[in-house]
Amino acid sequence: MTNIDIDSIRDKLHAKLEPSGWATVLRHFIYSDEFTKIIVKLEHETKEGRRFTPSLSKMFSAFYDCPYDKLNVVMIGQDPYPYVGVADGKAFSVSNDSKHVPPSLKYIFKEIERTVYKEKKNFQPDLSRWSNQGILLLNIALTTTVNKVGQHYLIWQPFLAYLFDMLNWHKPQTIYVYMGKKASDWQDSVSDNNKKLVTSHPASAAHNKLENWDSGDVFNKINECLQKLEKPQIEW
């Protein structure tokens, strides 16, 4: 049996999602048995001595910071940075006051400088500015065990399935960017009336110690797609 107050967690999450417009979209899942199972599994991990990241309060930050009515792009990564105090709930993003900028994010910034702006930029590691412009920075697992990657993919599968189903119905002509194999495995969950872009994960460049991450010019392609759809382009 769990001793956590599931109803309180649901209500607080729902309230935090209201300003961005996601509360109505995610309400059915938040008040479902599937959401209860996720919270219970995370609590069980904690009791077993396996901490998870990001914290419960930050897990849905990708949705807090991306206004639903502005949503045009879903950028899909793998799972959160596994280090304590680094992941902020948005894929690839970290807080501006973080002492650690992960290699994946460094490669992303370098690729944007190389392909989009052709010059050095002073990017802030908090990617809320992307979220605010209508990019949902989504990991296929919203949490992972501290110091371990890929631990919670199964836990979050029901949520991802629900989310993509809702977006298929209510947000056609959205641009989906799949970064890495784990993300691209979800392509079939998105209907073909959306634009799908696939690239490697920047962590692969870090793992192989490459000078640059070859994104396939994905950041320019996103803006080209937005332009064709007559939607605002992203200021990276």
Strand blocks (E) in the chain: 52-53, 73-77, 135-139, 144-145, 175-179, 195-199
Cβ atoms of 214 and 112 closer than 8 Å: no
**Residues 6 or more apart whose Cβ sits within 8 Å of residue 27:** 14
> Catalytic annotation on 5?
no
Helix (H) or strand (E) holding 83: none
Rounded Cα distance, 19 and 149, in Å: 31
Token pair listed for 219? 């950041």
3-state helix, strand, coil in the chain (%, to 5): 45, 10, 45
One of 79, 126, 165, 214 is an active-site residue; which one? Answer: 79
Cβ atoms of 160 and 186 closer than 8 Å: yes
Which residues are designated catalytic?
Answer: 79
